[in-house]
């Protein structure tokens, strides 16, 4: 099926099977390896990308559902001021250990703060409930997001 | 074989549905997992896909004649963000999966997937949700309890699509929902309980009780509900054990990876008891 979509702000036209997973398209066809495969069934959040500005599990999105959509991965999001704020706050709070979950966590953070620039502790937990991390125990991640929300006044 | 269809309009989708044996797919959060074949492999659906999640006709939420019409393609996130959707229904929706999955999953998909643990179902059964099924030839309306015929089985004909879900635009006086899962977020349901009631002059005027994940389909007994109408709310307290006894044979869960039958049954009946005691304190 012919698929027209926008990837990291560039128009793309590809011809692929419509059941192909967005996750595989991004990693295999476009070499965007910030997108990780963890569970492959929407539970871990390692493959989370932005679709029209909202976090989605790319392992659950068939290619047929990205027609006309704008997909953003960390490769382009990292050029933004908002990313730089998240990065410095994550560094300060020790939010990253092995790093495998981090791209998904950063994208989920962007999606959360876009919708709710001043989240409470509970809202941060809820917003990140689809992202698993086996290293940090989460507290440092929540702290990093808190810092980003506090200091990111006006960015979101 | 054609790989898939992506119609521009609902009418076009219905025409395709009448001519081809195809699998309707919207948010795909359930189907992509059910048909997954492993790392870096595309899921195998065995038939062409009919993409319907993008159709604008399926994305409306509106109030018509005191009823709420919800398009089958409305996302779980959109239900939560809507001012029209009753708060007690949102309680169930906000406990489903996680935000990145709720940004994909549709209400119609949750219904058509017909899982005994489907989290929109206890509410939809309790309010007698009506489902609009359209085909190129016309449309029919069926209630959700008739539409779902068994675990993962529905009455959807090969040429039909679920297009609208109709629920009453009504808030009950007493609202109670509990989902029992392994953890708070991102959990699949071990048992779910929905209870709602209206109290008029101290008497039960309307009562709805449904159980999820404890039988092949959602459990609801209109007979027991009917027998409770007209009773003084304060008197419900004395009837708790009798009512629990009547529901006991209807709640018949199974052992599986998620939980045990014994636990599911016990917790379901305790939630019913908690709901009944809540009613008995209503003025």
> Mean pLDDT, chain B, as a whole number?
96
Q: What was the pLDDT predicted at A148?
A: 98
Q: What was the pLDDT predicted at B37?
A: 87
d(CA A151, nearest CA chain B) in Å = 24
Q: Check CB contact of B258 with chain A, cutoff 8 Å.
A: no
CB contact under 8 A, B3 and A17: yes
Residue B146 burial (C-beta neighbours within 10 Å; 0-12, 13-18, 19+) = exposed
Q: What is the CATH number of domain B4-168?
A: 3.30.465.10
The CATH architecture annotation of domain B174-280 reads 2-Layer Sandwich (3.30)
Mutate to test the interface with B, among A129, A132, A138, A142 (most CBs of B within 10 A): A129
Q: What was the pLDDT predicted at B98?
A: 96
Q: Are B159 and B135 in contact (CB under 8 A)?
A: yes
Per-residue pLDDT tens over the stretch B11-35: 999 999 999 999 999 999 999 999 9
For residues B163-186, give the mean pLDDT. Answer: 94
Whether B283 shows a pLDDT value over 80: the answer reads: no
Per-residue pLDDT tens over the stretch B88-129: 999 999 999 999 999 999 999 999 999 999 999 999 999 999
Residues 80-139 of chain B with CB under 8 A from chain A are 94, 97-101, 103-104
In the three-class reduction of DSSP (H, G, I as helix; E, B as strand; rest coil), residue A14 is classed as strand
For residues A111-119, give the mean pLDDT. Answer: 96
d(CA B58, nearest CA chain A) in Å = 15
Q: What was the pLDDT predicted at B74?
A: 98
Per-residue pLDDT tens over the stretch A56-83: 999 999 999 999 999 999 999 999 999 9
Mutate to test the interface with B, among A51, A57, A101 (most CBs of B within 10 A): A57
Q: Check CB contact of A126 with chain B, cutoff 8 Å.
A: yes
Task: Name the band, by pLDDT with cuts 50, 70 and 90, for residue B2.
Answer: confident
Whether B183 shows a pLDDT value over 70: the answer reads: yes
Give me the DSSP letters along A27-91: IIIS--TTS--SSSSSSS-TTEEEETTEEEEGGG-BGGG-TT-EEE-HHHHTTSHHHHHHHHHHH
d(CA B41, nearest CA chain A) in Å = 8
Return d(Cα A69, Cα A51) in angstroms, integer: 7
Chain B residues within an 8 Å CB radius of A54: 77, 103
d(CA A143, nearest CA chain B) in Å = 19
The residue of chain B nearest to residue A44, with distances taken between CA atoms, is B186
Chain A residues within an 8 Å CB radius of B38: 40
Per-residue pLDDT tens over the stretch B210-259: 999 999 999 999 999 999 999 999 999 999 999 999 999 999 999 998 99
Chain B residues within an 8 Å CB radius of A3: none
d(CA A41, nearest CA chain B) in Å = 5
For residues B259-282, give the mean pLDDT. Answer: 96
Q: What was the pLDDT predicted at B1?
A: 67
What one-character DSSP code corresponds to residue B4?
A: E
Chain A residues within an 8 Å CB radius of B45: 19
Going from N- to C-terminal start, the domains of chain B cover 4-168, 174-280
Overall size of chain A counted in residues: 156
CB contact under 8 A, A112 and B99: yes
Q: What was the pLDDT predicted at A36?
A: 97
B4-168 and B174-280 share one CATH topology?
A: no
CB contact under 8 A, A19 and B39: no
Per-residue pLDDT tens over the stretch A17-47: 999 999 999 999 999 999 999 999 999 999 9
What one-character DSSP code corresponds to residue B106?
A: B
Return d(Cα A123, Cα A63) in angstroms, integer: 31
Please count the residue pairs, one from chain A and one from chain B, whose beta carbons lie less than 8 angstroms apart. Answer: 115
CB contact under 8 A, A41 and B186: no
Which residue from A42, A51, A112 is facing B101, i.e. has the nearest CB? Answer: A42
Q: Check CB contact of B186 with chain A, cutoff 8 Å.
A: yes
């Amino acid at each position: 099926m012919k698929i027209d979509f926008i990837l990291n702000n560039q128009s793309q036209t590809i011809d692929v099977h419509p059941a192909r997973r967005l996750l595989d398209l991004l990693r295999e066809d476009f070499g965007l390896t910030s997108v990780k495969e963890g569970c492959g069934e929407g539970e871990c959040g390692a493959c989370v990308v932005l679709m029209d500005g909202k976090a989605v599990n790319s392992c659950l999105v068939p290619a047929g559902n990205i027609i006309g959509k704008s997909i953003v991965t960390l490769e382009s999001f990292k050029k933004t001021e908002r990313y730089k704020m998240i990065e410095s706050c994550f560094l300060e709070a020790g939010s990253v250990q092995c790093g495998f979950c981090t791209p998904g966590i950063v994208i989920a953070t962007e999606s959360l703060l876009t919708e709710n620039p001043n989240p409470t502790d509970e809202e941060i937990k809820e917003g990140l409930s689809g992202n698993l991390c086996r290293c940090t125990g989460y507290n440092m991640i929540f702290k990093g997001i808190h810092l980003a929300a506090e200091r990111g006044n006006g960015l979101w | 074989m054609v790989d898939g269809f992506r119609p521009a309009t609902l009418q076009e989708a219905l025409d395709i549905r009448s001519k081809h044996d195809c699998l309707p797919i919207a948010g795909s959060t359930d189907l992509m997992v059910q048909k997954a074949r492993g790392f870096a492999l595309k899921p195998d659906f065995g038939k062409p896909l009919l993409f319907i999640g993008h159709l604008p006709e399926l994305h409306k939420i509106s109030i018509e004649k005191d009823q709420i019409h919800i398009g089958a393609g409305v996302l779980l996130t959109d239900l939560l963000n809507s001012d029209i959707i009753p708060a007690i229904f949102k309680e169930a929706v906000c406990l489903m999966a996680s935000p990145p999955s709720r940004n994909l999953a549709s209400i119609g998909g949750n219904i058509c997937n017909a899982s005994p643990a489907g989290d929109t179902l206890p509410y939809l059964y309790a309010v007698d949700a009506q489902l609009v099924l359209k085909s190129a030839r016309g449309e029919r309306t069926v209630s959700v309890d008739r539409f779902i015929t068994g675990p993962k089985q529905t009455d959807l004909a090969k040429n039909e699509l679920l297009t609208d879900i109709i629920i009453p635009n009504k808030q009950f006086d007493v609202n109670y929902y509990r989902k029992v899962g392994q953890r708070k977020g991102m959990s699949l349901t071990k048992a779910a309980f929905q209870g709602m009631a209206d109290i008029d002059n101290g008497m039960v005027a309307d009562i709805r009780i449904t159980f999820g994940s404890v039988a092949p389909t959602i459990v609801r007994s209109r007979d027991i509900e009917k027998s409770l109408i007209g009773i003084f709310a304060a008197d419900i307290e004395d009837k708790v054990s009798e009512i629990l006894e009547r529901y006991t044979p209807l709640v018949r869960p199974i052992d599986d990876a998620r939980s045990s039958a014994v636990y599911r049954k016990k917790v379901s009946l305790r939630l019913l008891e908690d709901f009944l005691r809540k009613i008995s304190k209503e003025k």
